[in-house]
Structure 1
Amino acid sequence: MTDRIARASLFLASGTIVSRILGFLKAIVLAATIGVVGSASADAFAVANGLPNTVYVIVAGGVLSAVLVPQIVRAATHEDGGAAYINKLVTLALVVIGAATLVATALAPLLAWIYGGNFPPDTLALATAFAFWCLPQIFFYGLYTLLGEVLNARRSFGPFTWVPVLNNVVALLGLVAFGVLFGFDPTGSRTADEWTPGMIALLAGSATLGIVAQAVVLFWFWGRIGLRYRPDFRWRGVGLRSAGRMAGWTFGMLLLTTLAGIVQTRVVSEASGYGASVAATDAAWLIFMLPHSVITVSIATAYFTRMSEHARDGLLDRVRQDLSGAVRGVGLILTLASAVLVVVAYPFAAVFQPGNFTSVSALGNVIAAFALGLVAFSVLFVVQRTFYALGDTRTPFLFTLVQVIVFSIAALACLLFLPREWIAVGVALSTTVAVVIQLGLAVALLRPKLGTLDGRRVVVSLARDLGAVIVPVAAGFATLWAFGGFREGGFAIADRWSAIVVMAIVGSVMALLYGGILWLLRSPELRGFVAPALERLRRR
């Protein structure tokens, strides 16, 4: 990893860390406001607030990431630096996303039924009411992605990862206002028919207002790098047809992913009122995504623009080096992160819903099941972005199709063979198994495109990381057991603060052991991260 890439990744990670910390605070306050496990209100809001992101992803989300950055990088060779192309592409995208937002909002009852049709009638009605307030987020998700990806392509990486801080602040204020005005409900005992229009408007409306804020503020950052958005409806003659061909396969891939999401929500919603269901699965996924967002997305985003430039210039050896460096860097950190999440799953669950061991174990088991697939999920993200840099969106469609088939079969099997209180855990494990299979297929399909994948060095690095984490895992479980992390009333799960303290202790023990073992094993990836910091300390 070059020093420039390292600095960019660290800057991106710092913004993501702040945003994610606030996001967790928001999730904790939300749990205190409407509950998590066994809460009809939480399940209804989880379905409704997830719909905008789902619809947006179908319409344009991954298409923009897969197509926009490579196309803007290529357009940078134009006389105007690509400004005209950017205005045309952004205008076209906003027209499409705006139309999709209007249609989706009108279809709110249908969309709520597709995902929450297994809910009791009053819970489904509440989810529909939330959806009318949440679905306008689609347009502003699109605006945020468009403006942010253009900034990334121009090597202005910071705003895209820092402005979600504003979103979380606005949403937090809305949750606090809701709790003050209508009361907090950490056990989720408030029934669906107790919700008034004012309560619905405040909870869902503040969530939407946060998305609006994070999108609109990016116009200011455009001005700072010399860009001005001017609507341009003359879409012919700037290569949009080739972009459309690329986007077609990505669109198909996103439809597959959405189908898997529908299967997941329908299956876990069967457990609503019995144990971990939609809201608990969302909370576990939020925890799972923390290290992925902070580490993988930051590293991959910093690499992706450079990888696209190398692919544009036909420098496949450089693309291969970028891929190898990104995977080894991700593997180094995510191996530890995955292990820590598995060990501290119960205390992490207690941060959301402390005191009740049944609820803690229900959510904790889902967290651990997701965390087992963290490394594979993050490496897959890097491999997928490599295909996009090469201008290939067809192959990701193919290996995503396999993943969706495997996941759907496994998730439906959970519905048939597992008791309701274990369905969410089974679905999380199904996700892990499907992602591992998807990664293996993706790597096999990528190798012919690059000739070789620097496989020996990557495998040795990942194996070294895996071997180094064994002792830390044993030490982590022993430490957690000593703090009562696996029994009713234990200090580690008694309340939020004790859970946070124990997680900090366990995480520190595991990190020190892991880093020490890798240092003794002379891990070049670890030394590559640590050496610049040590050199700066020596100079001071």
Structure 2
Amino acid sequence: MVRAGRAMAVATVVSRVTGFVRTLVLVTALGLGTRLLDAYTVANVTPNTIYELVMGGALASVVVPLLVRQASRPDADLFAQRLLSLVVYGLGAVVIATVLAAPLIVDATAAGFAPSERHLAVLFTRFFMPQILFYGVSATLAAVLNARGRLAAPLWAPVANNLVVIATGLAFVLVGGTGHAASPGTAQTLLLSVGTSAGVAAQMAVLAFAGRRAGFRLRLHADPRGIGVRRIAAMAGWTVGSVAAAQGVFVVSTRLASHAGTGMLAVYSNASTIFQLPYAVIAVTVITGVLPRMSRAAGRRDLAGVTADLSRSLRLTGVALAPVSAALVVLGPALTTLMFAHGSTSPSAARLTGQTLAVYGLALVPFAGYQIMLRAFYALGDTRTPALISVGVSAVTVGLVLVAAQLTGGARLLIALAGCTAVAYTTGLTVSALVLRHRLGRVDGRRLLDTHLRTLAAATAAGLVAAAVARAVDAPFGAGPSSAAVVIVAASAAGGALYALAARLLGVAELRVLTSALRPG
């Protein structure tokens, strides 16, 4: 898993680095804290949200285990082709419906927009809705590749998406676009709209090419039946319910952020995006590698094998993410000042993004552990239990954010929303562990607790040292991106060295596994 994880981690790092360059280009071009970026952000996340609601959760939880079990059968390709056909026909109908319903969708997710901002968001949304189909085809092709053991190839595909959108953002600047204009011109709007959707289409094209090289023929069937549609629908139904609950959290949080003030929605969205980077590089890499393994072990009724893979994944992920979590807590404002405090972005908006990110840092390890545990249920063929747990986590989140909205507002509300997320994911992690222990008989709890406590001690010590170094370095240099860069380098070096030393002294064996994975050869 470590050897495969190295290749996947490289692909994920390149993907996420280009993704951040994409974010930086868009923020520079459109301006963090501007109405244009808020409208673009709402429209751009909507297709992904609808795709996850309609099919994304089902593909993640049901399709990969099914394809793994079908891989050894002679009709494996026919099964995958019919599944792809079902995805294309179903999501094609969804695209048509959502294009027509774009005004209602924008009103539901961003009620605080002014009329001109709403008009622009509706226009962007209509252009972006074909992305739903592109995402569905991409995810299905990625599942086919994963079932065939091609784990790294799907992780490279988003790079094509990012490069196309980066080019779109740069072209927007070259034609004179700016986020501070009352509204972009027709040509500029078309450039942003078509270029952004073209990025997702490029991602799909890369996966189609990779599937072809893996021996999978991209062929649609007029009749997609014969794959157990009713069974898949029954298994996916629970997942759709959990995704619907999660999207309810997204809608509530987005509406609250849109009422917090001009530009606050983009601030909240960018903090969430940065929070997802280390999770994607580390936890998603582990999840991608371990889900087929756990599915095969579950297919053999080898519960001990499932437990071993689960424990190993949780320990490696926790040890890798703990110092990153400490860095986000300590260096959040410095990170976002370095990334965003230039171009059309105000320093105050960049710093607020970092303050929100710092609170998000507390959720990093619980969120990753929670997501890995959900995959253990999926490997066991159980979508009902994780769905019920997810609905509970969503209910906790909504309850907390509504209380937070009553107690605070404005910029402080964004920070409170991130804190509510940390509490909710910690609750989900705890409940998932208890249920899995009952299901599997054991989850290697003592070893997990011991490793995580030692890791927490090492990360806390490293965070305190990094904070002291950051304060000492920040004083003589003042504010601004150059000062933030010096602070980040100095504090990260000190904190990282101490974490490695403390983890070694405390006997965190997983750190040696991770460092060995980074060595070439």
TM > 0.5 between the two?
yes
CA distance in 2, matches of 1:190, 1:97: 35
8 Å Cα contact 1:346/1:493 also seen in 2: no
Residue 483 (structure 1) shift: 2.6
* Number of the residue aligned with 1:154: 148
Contact 1:34 1:190 in 2 (8 A): no
Matching residue's letter, 1:103: A
SS at match of 2:50: helix
Structure 1 position 76 matched with structure 2 position 44: no
- Structure 1 position 402 matched with structure 2 position 409: no
Matches within 5 A, 1:16-31: 16-31=12-27
Query: For residue 6 of structure 2, what is the aligned residue in structure 1?
Result: 10
Name the CA distance, whole Å, in 1 between partners of 2:135 and 2:493.
36
Output the CA distance in 2 between the equivalents of 1:382 and 1:153: 18
- Describe how 1:441-456 pairs up with structure 2 within 5 A: 441-456=431-446
Cα deviation digits, residues 160-195 of structure 1 (max 9, x gap)? 11111111111000000000102444xxx333xx22
C-alpha deviation, 1:94, in angstroms? 1.4
2:267 equivalent in structure 1: 280
Judged with a 3 Å threshold, the aligned counterparts in structure 2 of structure 1 residues 533 and 62 are, in CA distance, closer, same or farther, namely closer
Letter in 2 for 1:41: L
Deviation at 1:256, TM superposition (A): 0.6
Match of 1:525 among 492, 495, 510: 510
**Secondary structure of 1:512's aligned partner:** helix
Q: Tell me, yes or no, if the aligned pair for 2:2 and 2:517 is still in contact at 8 Å.
A: no
Match of 2:286 in 1: 299
Change (3 A) 1:441 1:483: same
1:421 Cα deviation after fit: 2.0
- 1:9-62 deviations in Å (ceiling 9; x for gaps): 11111111111111111111111111113x111111110111010011011111
Q: 1:467 to 1:208 in 2, by over 3 A?
A: same
User: Alpha-carbon deviations, 1:513-532, whole Å to 9, x = none?
Assistant: 10111112221111223356
1:53 aligns with 2:48: yes
Q: Taking structure 1 as reference, are residues 470 and 29 closer, same or farther at Cα in structure 2, changes over 3 Å only? A: same
Matches within 5 A, 1:452-531: 452-484=442-474, 491=477, 493-495=479-481, 497-531=482-516
Using the TM superposition, give the Cα deviation of residue 438 of structure 1 relative to its aligned residue in structure 2, in angstroms.
1.4
Equivalent runs, 1:314-393 vs 2, <5 Å: 314-354=301-341, 357-393=347-383
Distance in 2 of aligned mates of 1:267 and 1:480: 33
1:199 aligns with 2:188: yes
The aligned counterpart of 1:212 is: 201
Q: What percentage of aligned pairs have identical amino acids? A: 32
Kindly indicate whether the alpha-carbon contact (under 8 Å) linking 1:35 and 1:353 is maintained by their aligned counterparts in 2: no
Instruction: Using the TM superposition, give the Cα deviation of residue 533 of structure 1 relative to its aligned residue in structure 2, in angstroms.
Output: 6.2
Establish whether residue 259 from structure 1 lines up as the match of residue 254 from structure 2: no
The alignment covers a number of residue pairs equal to: 518
List runs of 5+ in structure 2 lacking aligned partners.
none
Structure 1 unaligned segments of length 5 or more: list them: none
Distance 1:236 1:34 in 2: 46
> Superposition pairs for residues 142-181 of structure 1, below 5 Å?
142-181=136-175
Letter of the aligned partner of 2:3 in structure 1?
Answer: R
Change (3 A) 1:316 1:507: same
Q: 1:521 to 1:86 in 2, by over 3 A?
A: same
Q: Let me know the Cα RMSD of the aligned residues.
A: 1.7
Which residue matches 2:29?
Answer: 33
Contact 2:271 2:353 (C-alpha < 8 Å) held by counterparts? yes
Letter in 2 for 1:190: A
Q: Tell me the amino acid that sits aligned with residue 115 of structure 1.
A: T
After superposition, what is the alpha-carbon deviation per residue over 1:257-288, rounded to whole angstroms, capped at 9, x for unaligned?
Answer: 11111001001111132xx6210111101110
Could you list the per-position Cα deviations for residues 141-161 of structure 1 after superposition, in whole angstroms to 9, with x for gaps in the alignment? 111111111101111012211
Distance in structure 1 (CA, Å) of the matches to 2:467 and 2:143? 41
TM-score (norm 2): 0.96
TM-score by length of 1: 0.93
1:190 is the counterpart of 2:181: yes
Shift of 1:412: 1.5
